[in-house]
Structure 1
Amino acid sequence: MKTTKIFVDCHVFDGNFQGTTTYLKGLYSELLKDKTKQFYFGASNTTFLETIFGTHENLTYVSYKAKSKFYRLLFDIPRIIKENKIDFAHFQYVVPPIKACKYIVTIHDVLFLDFPEYFPLAYRKKNKLLFKTSAERSDVVLSVSEYSKQQIQKHFGIETVTLTPNSIDSIYFEEYDKEAVKKQVSEKFKATNYFVYVSRWEPRKNHDRLLKAFVENEYYKTRSLVFVGGKAIGNKAYDNYYASLPQEIKAAVFSFNKVNYQDLLLLVRGADLSIYPSIAEGFGIPPLESLAAKVPTICSNTTAMADFQFFGNCLFNPLDLEDLKNKIEIGLKDTQIEQKRNQMKAKFTWQFAAEQFKKAIS
């Protein structure tokens, strides 16, 4: 049987952890079990990449010569494809302009077209062109939720989009000592009895409304609010509101822009409540990760997250401040975490995503 050679652009692992890194880690950890396929993972820091995926007979790490995305797409990747006689090359959102083999592209969302008010005009114009062209030039188009699939078909006129839904890293399901973790977080990050929100910073991520709920319900008197995620697009509403707060309240608000994977896991596990108030998502992995870790979790009910029906009474309208306030109280008293966790675990698996991927390329 002929071995299928698949190249994967893993440059996202050279930056902060985000949805695309979680997706690639979960999907390819499962696909690597298929020994009829030879994989080539490309990144600038292949040493770090190896700590994520490990050593496998059917996996070769290839280094990019430059960190520039233009050099990577124009020169590095075509060179790697040619040298290794690659059959398929897999990219996130954008494919190289020169086509040297069959292309696979995963477009996680087109939220900038659905919610233009949250994105700069230049960003919208550039990415509409890049994403649409990439989808049209690819042999296989993938997405991660039914919502994103429908929007890609609507905006780009792409008929065949294969669903490879996100799932949760198995490490989040592992048992741990809650009190020991909380002590570690207190010592390392100075945060105690805290709510956590894991997400990069953009206006649509709704950090400002969560901060208002935290302040208006006076949680700052006994609790902390922890934001974890890198800066992407500035949120002036949050900045202005935060600046207006007295020092007493600011002291209870923590923001960690860059944390490693172990610290991220620690901060999720140590939380009394995980809150995910994002207004629009192509999928929304963090609330699933916190639920997997048995952390009480409340989640927005819009866009792709409307599919998370197992959250039940812990879903809320992210544009309704009072609903958010009420659901925080409900989430803190949630007694059905184990039941919700089991329903989620049955619904989302990397095995399913990997099977859909293999069907698409065959």
Structure 2
Amino acid sequence: MKILIDHQIFSSQKYGGISRYFVKIANKMNQFGENVCVCAPVHRNYYLKESGSKLSKGMYLNSFPPKTTRIIKAANHYLSKLIVHNLKPDIVHETYYSLNSLANKNIVLTVYDMIHEIFSNSFRNNDITSVLKRKAVERATHVICISENTKNDLITYCKVDESKISVIYLGIEKSFVMPEQLLPSKVCSKSFLLYVGSREGYKNFNNFITAFVASKKLVQNFNIICFGGGSFDKDERDFLIEKGLSEKNIAQVSGDDQDLAGLYRNASALVYPSLYEGFGLPLLEAMAYNCPVICSSSSSIPEVVGDAAEMFDPYDAESIQNAIERVVLDNSVRTDLICRGQQRVKLFSWERCARETLDVYRRVLS
């Protein structure tokens, strides 16, 4: 089977869950003997670069020149059309949402969440992701959703026939972490709670901070480390100062997967207060590194964590505070969550994800 994965997400992400997902399953499917090509003529994706020329013949740039992203994406689409014409793949798998496809048939699309539809106020008025998503879903032969929750939301908001959708969970595996890559000393000086990802509206970061500062025990004994999401902007800095937090209490750091793995391994817990997730890969990542998970009881999150996390009502700061205290102030609870997490992650693998994706491709072709 000749499978082509399009360039879209690799033109956008240097790191990120979506691009990692496609590289992981593409590598697995190649190992199974399938012919898989990531069609990204010019890209800036670290995972694709690390996979070497076997997976993609594209050119890697560490970063795109200023104000050229749109031009490069357009060039990628044009060049990819030529590649598709010559390669004649059996399946084209679209990695994100676009106005036009590279193919006219046998198109598979992955839908990750319905955040733009449910939390439309969190995005700019000129954001057309929802429009592009609807068009991509309509033209797709089959749609993969990464959770049952996303599938149900897709049916609700886009009126898609359920028979057109398959649910395939993401996978998880550890990255190797050298001892010297664990953490800088300034982070290790005090026990800390870990927050991963962006901090925009629906991520519910402010409610987490409100819950944290309401507890004298938490403030006295723990710092907060935020990984990713960019540096704190002025509004965030003002909010943190208003809550009585300074750089002595909270820090934002960035890095690669190795750096994140080190944080998981050293954190007292991952706190994941999001109001909505299509899946929530950091939840499983934390479990894989023996980091107890404290998280929302909303959207797809209970579906992913099962009984291996301490859950709270994300709209209730007191509920968040109580859940954090139950875990980080009681070693027996923390140890139990670590053990449950070790068992939970065994249910999720990239091999299983790849095999189930191949099953979808075969159904499309039949």
Structures share fold, TM-score greater than 0.5: yes
Between 261-270 and 18-27, report the one with greater CA deviation: 18-27
Q: Which residue of 2 aligns with 1:158?
A: 160
> Does residue 76 of the first structure (1) align with residue 83 of the second (2)?
no
Greater CA drift, 142-151 or 307-316: 307-316
Deviates more, 1:13-22 or 1:85-94: 13-22
Determine if contact 2:292/2:338 at 8 Å carries over to the other structure: no
Task: Kindly provide the amino acid, as one letter, of the partner of residue 138 in structure 1.
Answer: A
1:322 to 318, 322, 344: 318
Counterpart residue number, 2:223: 224
**Alpha-carbon distance in structure 2 between the residues aligned to 1:47 and 1:113:** 27
CA deviations on 1:11-44 (whole Å, 9 max, x unpaired) are 4376343331332233223222121323234263
Structure 1 residue 186: Cα displacement: 3.4
Measure, in 2, the Cα distance between the counterparts of 1:92 and 1:239.
Answer: 35
Mapped partners of 2:287, 2:185: distance in 1: 24
Alignment correspondent of 1:299? 295
For 1:6, the aligned partner's letter is L
Do the aligned partners of 2:145 and 2:166 also contact (CA within 8 Å) in 1? yes
Match of 1:29 in 2: 27
CA-atom RMSD in angstroms: 3.1
Measured after TM superposition, the shift of residue 321 of structure 1 is: 0.7
Unaligned runs of 5+ in 2: 62-67
Counterpart mapping for 1:92-107 below 5 A: 92-95=95-98, 97-101=100-104, 102-107=106-111
Report the Cα distance in structure 1 between the residues aligned to 2:41 and 2:77, rounded to whole angstroms: 15
Matched with 1:89 is 92
CA, structure 1 residues 296+7, in 2 after alignment: closer, same or farther (shift >3 Å)?
A: closer
1:115 aligns with 2:119: yes
Which residues in structure 2 correspond to 1:241-280 (within 5 Å)? 241-246=239-244, 249-256=246-253, 258-280=254-276
Q: Which amino acid aligns with 1:26?
A: K
TM-score normalised by structure 2 residue count: 0.83
Query: Can you give the 5+ residue segments of structure 1 that lack an aligned partner in the other structure?
Result: none
Whole-angstrom CA distance in 2 between matches of 1:235 and 1:109: 29
Moved more, 303-312 or 37-46: 37-46
2:341 is the counterpart of 1:341: yes
Moved more, 326-335 or 280-289: 326-335
Distance 1:210 1:286 in 2: 17
Tell me which residue corresponds to 2:283. 287
Q: Distance in 1 between matches of 2:99 and 2:57?
A: 19
The residue aligned with 2:64 is none
Question: Counterpart of 2:219 in structure 1: which amino acid?
Answer: Y
Q: CA deviation at 1:55?
A: 5.9
**Change in 2 beyond 3 A, CA 1:347/1:359:** same
Within-5 A mapping of 1:49-198: 49-54=47-52, 56=54, 59-63=55-59, 67-68=69-70, 70-72=73-75, 74-95=77-98, 97-101=100-104, 102-123=106-127, 126-159=128-161, 160-171=164-175, 184-187=182-185, 189=187, 192-198=190-196
In the TM superposition, residue 189 of structure 1 has moved relative to its aligned partner by 4.8
* CA–CA separation in structure 1 for the residues paired with 2:242 and 2:321: 21
Amino acid corresponding to residue 155 of structure 1 in structure 2: Y
> What is the TM-score with the length of structure 1 in the denominator?
0.84
Q: How many Å apart are 1:358 and its aligned residue?
A: 1.0
Q: Distance in 2 between matches of 1:324 and 1:354?
A: 36
Pair 67,135 (structure 1): closer, same or farther in 2 beyond 3 Å: same
Distance across 1 between alignment mates of 2:189 and 2:208 = 17
Structure 1 counterpart of 2:126, which letter? A
Q: Aligned with 2:58: secondary structure?
A: strand
Summarize the Cα distance change of 1:319–1:330 in structure 2 as closer, same or farther, 3 Å threshold: same
Could you tell me the percent identity over the aligned residues?
Answer: 19
Write the deviation string for residues 319-350 of structure 1: whole angstroms up to 9, x where unpaired.
Answer: 11111111112222322134312442243222
Q: Secondary structure at the match of 1:315?
A: strand
Is the alpha carbon distance of 1:309 and 1:264 closer, same or farther for their aligned partners in structure 2, counting shifts above 3 Å?
Answer: closer
Cα distance change, pair 6–267 in 1 and its aligned pair in 2 (3 A): same
